[in-house]
Amino acid sequence: MVAFFRDLLRDFRRNPNPYLFISPFFILFLFFGLVPIFYSFYMSFFEFVTFTEMEFVGLSNYARVFRDGDFRLSVWNTIVIMLVHVPTKVFFALVLAVVLNSKLIKFANFFRLSVFLPVVTAPVVVALVFAILLDTNYGIVNYVLGWFGVTPVRWLTDPFWAKPAVIIAQTWRWLGHDMVIMLAGLQAISKDYYEASSIDGANALQAFWKITVPLMWPVTLFCIVLSTINGLQMFDTVYVLTGGGPAKASLVIGVLLYNNAFQYFRFGYASAMAYVLGAMIFVLSLVQMKFASRRAAS
């Protein structure tokens, strides 16, 4: 490591121009990335008495996180939402990618763009749109369900239906993201596999399960890991759509962290919660990668 920085410094002295051109990124990353990360870790060992006065409390904030009933509830809610959201999104992203990768589909680029568009839409806009769509009295979803004799569903005001509402909104928003990644993976698969399977008499469904799914496993795993990381950090859509309610039924970790930091001004406690969340993301990602490596080895 010392030798690396020594060579880097020598190269900088010899030819500083390339480093000066890329320096704005590193300066911004330093002040808006690294400094907040390290300062939040520092704050996690303190309790804010006032906005300018802090009291050192050691590991008390971390111990408090694991004793907090709301934190345990938020973890449970987050896991329940993810267990439905992640497999559903990844599966339909793969199916959509296969369909839109077919030469039989006309205007494929238009449909690809349409599916991807929610990814670049502001999360607040997505939440507001679904708040209108899922409104109990005037929402289009309940209006369509009424055609089949279904009574109006209280999507956003019933504790049971709050989670499905969040899952629907999150899946709609991120489906296009995984679909684009799946499309890239599909286009890297040789056509020879499908030609050989058709010669052997396999139909399209058999080719999908026997060829596409196994060969797409590394890409699928990548999408699962990304979805897990994003799912554990979900905040904006949930906060605007349900606010963590009703009765804390959709209270996820991100919403609880925000409430502690910016509503109750427990900055030290919120910082500790953020690092616990970071540890959870790391462990879950590691477990997923370990499982994938064992499956690949077998």
Provide the residue ranges of all domains of the chain, joining segments of one domain with +.
2-61, 65-297
DSSP letter assigned to residue 131: H
Tens-digit pLDDT string for the chain (298 aa): 667 778 778 887 888 888 888 888 888 988 888 898 899 999 999 988 776 778 888 899 999 999 999 999 999 999 999 999 999 999 999 999 988 888 878 888 888 888 899 998 888 898 999 999 998 888 899 999 889 888 888 999 999 999 999 999 999 999 999 999 999 988 888 888 888 888 878 787 888 888 888 888 888 888 988 898 888 889 988 999 998 888 899 999 999 999 998 888 889 999 999 999 999 888 888 887 777 766 655 5
As to burial, measured by CB atoms within 10 angstroms (0-12 exposed, 13-18 middle, 19+ buried), residue 254 is buried
Q: Compute and round to an integer the Cα radius of gyration of the chain.
A: 24
Which of helix, strand or coil describes residue 279? helix
CATH 1.10.3720.10 correct for 65-297? yes
What residues are paired with 55 via a beta bridge? Answer: 47
